[in-house]
């Protein structure tokens, strides 16, 4: 591994301040919400990796099949010499792109970006060992906060896979895509993975798996708040509610208070009184239509170059270029 971006004190302080801001803003309004980035501590990242292997969770398999079938086309169309992956996790699917890049000899640098330092270090070390000669530049950070830390130079393709863009609300998506487009240079591109609209039964099953891994993942947000902010959330006081919002075309993952309870979060100087039945919206997962993806990208200043879908049409990969 030729280079490494270590987390510094300033970044850690920014993350701490961001958590406090998110908690104060999200938990004091109605409906009460939490940004999904706080699900991804080291334990949460491990749980999500387990989720991707569940039989009910189709997005991983669907996106993987697209990359298997079209990685060579994606690499050629991008013309990239640097691959940046946002929310990289274990970078398992990305290795299909790395293999394709290796066959062309065009890739000089890979920069995985993730909030989980342990997951990032492990994946980066494995990739550096598998692809000798490739400069691996891991960046510990939150892609919604630290886009300015992305490596500069060369022709870049930013991969944002897994349908993670759907975790952002509409205004957040607009702000994120706009900020990313502003940082890209002409010729740079974005490879965006999006889950497509499908039947409610198929969707609910994917977010309410029989092994309870997704529930454990969502509940981990309470563990993070207890640990980071000295909170006293009691897991037993909440039930997990996955809900399909047909109007917004998104899945909502919620925790419902089963008893009246008072929650204290000293680190955020906050006290919450929850009524029976009151819910915390921990994560959303918006589902898209191809025309909607194109419209949002074009509004941000990114022109759609190619779109690939899996055979059943459940998932899409869109390559958009900064002009």
What is the domain partition of the chain in residue ranges? 1-228+288-323
Q: What is the mean pLDDT of residues 251-277?
A: 96
Q: What is the CA radius of gyration of the chain?
A: 19
Question: Which pLDDT belongs to residue 11?
Answer: 37
In the predicted model, is pLDDT for residue 3 greater than 60? no
Please write the tens of the pLDDT for every residue from 191-242. 999 999 999 999 999 999 999 999 999 999 999 999 999 999 999 999 999 9
Q: Give the whole-angstrom CA distance, residue 207 versus residue 215.
A: 8
Length of the chain, in residues: 323
DSSP 84-103: EEET-TT-TTHHHHHHHHHH
Question: Which pLDDT belongs to residue 14?
Answer: 45
**Average of per-residue pLDDT values in the chain:** 92
Superfamily for the 1-228+288-323 domain:
Vaccinia Virus protein VP39 (3.40.50.150)
Q: Give the whole-angstrom CA distance, residue 31 versus residue 90.
A: 33
Q: Which residues contact 36 (CB under 8 A, 6 or more apart)?
A: 167, 282, 283, 284
Q: Give the whole-angstrom CA distance, residue 100 versus residue 41.
A: 31
| pLDDT above 90: percentage of residues in the chain | 81
| pLDDT above 70: percentage of residues in the chain | 95
State the Cα torsion 211-235-120-78 to the nearest 10°.
Answer: 70
Question: Which pLDDT belongs to residue 1?
Answer: 35
Return the closest-CA partner of residue 321 out of 181, 201, 124, 152: 181
Question: Which pLDDT belongs to residue 12?
Answer: 39
Task: Determine which helix (DSSP H) or strand (DSSP E) holds 63, and give its type and residue range.
Answer: helix 58-78
Strand partners, 82: 109, 156
Please write the tens of the pLDDT for every residue from 10-61. 333 444 788 899 999 999 999 999 877 788 888 998 999 899 999 999 999 9
């Amino acid at each position: 591994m030729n280079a490494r971006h270590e987390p510094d004190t300033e970044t850690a302080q920014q993350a701490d301040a961001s958590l406090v801001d998110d908690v104060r803003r999200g938990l004091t309004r109605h409906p009460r919400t939490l940004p999904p980035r706080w699900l991804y501590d080291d334990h949460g990242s491990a749980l999500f990796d387990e989720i991707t292997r569940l039989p009910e969770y189709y997005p991983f398999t669907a996106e993987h099949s697209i990359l298997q079938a079209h990685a060579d086309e994606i690499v050629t169309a991008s013309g990239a010499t640097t691959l940046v992956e946002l929310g990289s996790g274990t970078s398992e699917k990305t290795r299909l792109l790395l293999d394709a890049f290796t066959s062309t000899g065009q890739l000089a640098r890979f920069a995985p970006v993730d909030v989980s330092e342990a997951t990032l270090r492990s994946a980066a070390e494995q990739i550096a060992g598998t692809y000798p000669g490739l400069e691996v530049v891991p960046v510990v950070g939150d892609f919604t906060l630290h886009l300015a830390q992305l490596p500069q130079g060369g022709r870049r393709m930013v991969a944002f896979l897994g349908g993670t863009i759907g975790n952002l609300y509409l205004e957040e998506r607009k702000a994120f895509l706009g900020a990313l487009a502003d940082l890209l240079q002409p010729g740079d591109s974005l490879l965006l993975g999006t889950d497509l609209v499908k039947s409610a039964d198929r969707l609910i099953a994917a977010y309410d798996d029989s092994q309870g891994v997704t529930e454990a993942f969502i509940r981990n947000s309470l563990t993070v708040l207890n640990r980071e902010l000295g909170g006293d959330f009691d897991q037993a006081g909440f039930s997990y509610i996955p809900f399909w919002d047909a109007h917004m075309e998104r899945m909502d993952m919620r925790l419902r208070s089963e008893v009246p309870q008072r929650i204290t979060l000293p680190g955020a100087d906050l006290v919450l009184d929850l009524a029976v039945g009151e819910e915390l919206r921990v994560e959303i997962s918006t589902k898209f239509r191809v025309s909607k993806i194109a419209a949002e990208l074009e509004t941000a200043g990114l022109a759609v170059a190619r779109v690939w879908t899996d055979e059943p049409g459940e998932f899409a990969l869109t390559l958009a270029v900064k002009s």
